[in-house]
Structure 1
């Protein structure tokens, strides 16, 4: 670690064992019914829904900073039970198409899911996130494979190499491998709540804290690619009475997963304790933080630019209810999404224009 960097503070993550046997057994069961492991290529070859492009009127009704916007099909745009939250991209993955992935949580008991969006084709598909299981009560050797819906708010998602990381608030985050996407035929007898594909969790990063240190809430996450190797940056949503910290975990250059100490534990450094109220997402580019904040269903969101403790605000920059944030270097766009039913967009904002606006 850089000697000039601040020391780790009293929180850490411990990685669990991988669910290899459970996932392989589940894939085998589904193959017997004509489904099984299809990976990310299988999903991208079977996108069943269409994004609608939103042409920006004047004045900008989606927010002052929005340069490009797409919206979901009507059934997803108005859905009262699934809420979009996190966003990431296929940048520096093995996927050759320009793909955005978003996360959603269910207000029912259906857990959480991700949606893969092909930006060129403007098509997408939902994939249910699940925890794989082996039921020993069946008496069939290792047990009958199955799964249960993943219960997580999924406020942030990071796609890094072959892995998809899903934020789990006070419990840390969960990691999936995109090549583990499974097709679930109707005859398999497994409840998918209308989803044809599921993505099982490979392992978890479980959060813990030292005595006297408040646990870190993984409200949203992003990957800072301007560090070498990239850093996983985590932030807390909070009101004026809650902690609003920003923390940074170094990653391992070889695996792309979190770097660990000799004890196998991953420890972050604290980027700042004086984050903004109602932070929803962040992207970090060359040391500059871009942060979204929300202000209810009827008020446009803000984007804050700078560093912890020294932000300047672009007011009314986004639609109401902005969530997570990610940077796409090739286009210089910051992508975000909004959550409220009837007011849901996936939208891009020019990073350079935001910088100029805050300097004027």
Structure 2
């Protein structure tokens, strides 16, 4: 399987871009269902303020904690040989429907401007309960040819409400492995995120919301929202395990291994914790959304602070460099003590950020930070802003030039360079749009 190599598939990429251009949805019907009379205009977050003092950057420092190899090996010995992404995709048992076949409520959750080029709704059984999507990453992040092995893949992270639904699944996190080889027929399979315990003799469900994910090489980095010192969890996509018992329990059970009915589990191989302790207004930032930036050397992980929409607390934006050591592929660059320091940090007046992306236009003298925000009233559509140190611009829509134009309850961003698309989620749909179109709406 190829995923560690950096082979370019130029012919395939050109053909894929042409196919996507020729088959992209106009989604005109969806746009007519969305009201463009948005009364609220959000606050201009202004330019980014660099954070350079040791006090500011020190709060962003992480301490790496890797699960011992013997723990992971003991778990694999008990559960059976781990499988990879291909095995999960071959076992896909659900399908995503194209926008034209989705409900009006599904389509109303899409952005007003810029409009989605392609959009898909999930199996109704998955959106009917207390599970909601919040994070997305793709094989465009994983490898610079846009594929993982022989597949184009989208990963979507979902969180379960901690206060509703069956007690056994409250607060859990899962990932949809989406086979995106055929843009007209997307299929997916679930895997539950878990943590090894008891030296690898058992595991438990990850009791944490997922608001950001980045797939880099064979590693999946996931935000932690459990309110503790953990900032990120790390998963190895070559260490997916099959369960053997279809039951409501999670972990080792009489007769084998169970995961609340899920066929696959993904055990964490490590975590990063804030060295300064738990997130707090005067301390480290509560972790929020993530994105990959390939415009730095080395590549870097971009993060945004999770704050309440419409609140007074302003968010921090920052990045960590990935390690250049082949033995640490997919992990952050650390010093001899295992500490990862922020390579760059800013403060923004924006609050309620749920999506972040950094992109450098060819010839531009500075990078642009795109942020998707929830509305302060927590209803209706959100806002999309592009910021740099000089100022900010918003996407506008409707006769009153509202900036409430982005997706409803929007999630994280992932840029796919091979197709030029930005991928994101609403609370009901998975969608993609050309980044060039997004820039036109902002300009």
TM-score (norm 2): 0.71
Q: How does 1:105-254 map to 2 (within 5 A)?
A: 105-108=159-162, 109-110=168-169, 111-119=172-180, 120=182, 121-134=185-198, 145-169=201-225, 171-186=230-245, 188-209=255-276, 213-239=282-308, 240-254=311-325
Among 332, 337, 340, the residue aligned to 1:258: 332
How big is each residue's C-alpha offset from its partner over 1:225-273, in whole Å with a ceiling of 9 and x where there is no partner? 1112111111012133224000111112233321122433111144311
Among 96, 109, 113, the residue aligned to 1:51: 96
Matched, 1:313 2:394: yes
Superposition deviation, residue 216 in structure 1: 1.8
Provide the C-alpha distance between the structure 2 equivalents of 1:56 and 1:301, rounded to a whole number of angstroms. 24
2:374 equivalent in structure 1: 294
Matched, 1:268 2:342: yes
Provide the C-alpha distance between the structure 1 equivalents of 2:356 and 2:349, rounded to a whole number of angstroms. 11
Range with greater deviation from structure 2 (122-131 or 8-17): 8-17
Match of 1:44, SS?
helix
1:139 equivalent in structure 2: none
* Residues 212 and 298 of structure 1: CA distance in aligned 2, closer, same or farther (over 3 Å): closer
Provide the C-alpha distance between the structure 2 equivalents of 1:172 and 1:23, rounded to a whole number of angstroms. 21
Number of aligned residue pairs = 338
2:414 equivalent in structure 1: 326
Contact 1:112/1:150 (<8 A) preserved: yes
Superposition deviation, residue 56 in structure 1: 9.8
2:21 equivalent in structure 1: none
Provide the C-alpha distance between the structure 2 equivalents of 1:297 and 1:72, rounded to a whole number of angstroms. 23
Range with greater deviation from structure 2 (310-319 or 189-198): 310-319
Match of 1:180, SS?
coil
Provide the C-alpha distance between the structure 2 equivalents of 1:17 and 1:123, rounded to a whole number of angstroms. 33
* Residues 243 and 297 of structure 1: CA distance in aligned 2, closer, same or farther (over 3 Å): closer
Provide the C-alpha distance between the structure 1 equivalents of 2:284 and 2:223, rounded to a whole number of angstroms. 14
Provide the C-alpha distance between the structure 1 equivalents of 2:73 and 2:269, rounded to a whole number of angstroms. 11
Provide the C-alpha distance between the structure 2 equivalents of 1:213 and 1:252, rounded to a whole number of angstroms. 29
1:141 equivalent in structure 2: none
**Unpaired runs of 5+ in structure 1?**
136-143
* Residues 53 and 166 of structure 1: CA distance in aligned 2, closer, same or farther (over 3 Å): same
**Bigger share in helix:** 2
Root-mean-square deviation (CA, aligned residues, Å) is: 2.6
Matched, 1:10 2:58: yes
Superposition deviation, residue 308 in structure 1: 5.6
Provide the C-alpha distance between the structure 1 equivalents of 2:231 and 2:96, rounded to a whole number of angstroms. 31
Superposition deviation, residue 145 in structure 1: 1.5
Superposition deviation, residue 7 in structure 1: 6.5
Match of 1:253, SS?
coil
Contact 2:314/2:351 (<8 A) preserved: no
Match of 2:125, SS?
helix
Matched, 1:279 2:319: no
Contact 1:171/1:217 (<8 A) preserved: no
1:337 equivalent in structure 2: 425
Contact 1:6/1:269 (<8 A) preserved: no
How big is each residue's C-alpha offset from its partner over 1:311-357, in whole Å with a ceiling of 9 and x where there is no partner? 21113433311011111111111111112xxxx00011221112112
Provide the C-alpha distance between the structure 2 equivalents of 1:262 and 1:26, rounded to a whole number of angstroms. 29
* Residues 349 and 308 of structure 1: CA distance in aligned 2, closer, same or farther (over 3 Å): farther
- With CA pairs under 8 Å and 6+ residues apart, which has the higher RCO, 1 or 2? 2
* Residues 123 and 159 of structure 1: CA distance in aligned 2, closer, same or farther (over 3 Å): same
Superposition deviation, residue 275 in structure 1: 4.3
**Bigger share in strand:** 1
* Residues 257 and 146 of structure 1: CA distance in aligned 2, closer, same or farther (over 3 Å): same
